[in-house]
Structure 1
């Protein structure tokens, strides 16, 4: 299996995407609002531009997706989808944000869509009825340095993956996509009380999972 940072992987990714979106060397019109399309006033062909995106960003997109999805093939498919969406909507890009920021924004949405798709397959397996907890709400502590530790990332992925699908979607929607509670409740068809209950139970379960697997002090309180 080719890794994300492999030249062969980038080559195959480029050609699979190029085939999907129509592999023709057509000139792109340069727009003032899309300066990344232009270098020294020269036009890039569609294939050249797409290839430059893949070479520069495929590895970082792939590594980021692995923080939330443990299946390698699924991560590769999602990264491919990111480039397809970005390419087919290139005219909507505006220079107020960087290309990297734009691509990662698409990636976050794709990750959430992945979990929503799984939820639809299991939506009859769990109830929306929850009891109100008699404990205070948990808050994430700032332990960003742990995200640079490969062993911790692997365990955290495992703990997130063990969450029930609706819990996981609520958690990722809040902390990954930074969505508002009212928006998440609407998307998941749950009440405000249910929403906060999902977050509470999710963070409790992740804390227990981390303690069990890391045998360290609490990372969530």
Structure 2
């Protein structure tokens, strides 16, 4: 009886959370038979769970929360007590759908949802190209070191520094071109927080009033204020 009462209380709490939510994450994980999925957010630099669901035989899931505004959330899979991966995505009020596989939980993820997510995926596509180029530079640097060719070593370092600069400039440009989206301050604080403060200021000054008052808009202003104190 006690066990039944406990289960019923969990169902009631889950039902209330669903009724009070304005955001739903649903989807499926191909080949998953048993495990637990978690909906998480960053709270004081730590990932904390805000909803969860045990999966037993069903690959589909549905999670809920209440959003004050657009923010990056995370879908985590725990299988047999071991973390199988985390999928970040930009959430907004309404429904986001994530379909993926157990084998390649992060890589195979297909996300359909907010307009902020679409812009984040556009940005990530370019970042993948930068990562590929970086891997090529690492390979060239190792070969130069192996042959002890000082000219090639210096050249690879210069190419690496130029790549980092291009990555920063692309991020600044992307943020400026999306000044009416929460993606702009988010990228500023998550990707280039150590950039020269004048660039962060430029992004902040370009933001629309609505975006300035958003979660990441406020974080960006706090970051700039802190950087100027240093």
Does the pair score TM above 0.5? no
The structure showing larger relative contact order (alpha-carbon pairs under 8 Å, at least 6 residues apart) is 1
TM-score normalized with structure 2 length: 0.27
TM-score normalized with structure 1 length: 0.28
| The structure with more helix, counted as a fraction of residues | 1
Structure with larger Rg: 2
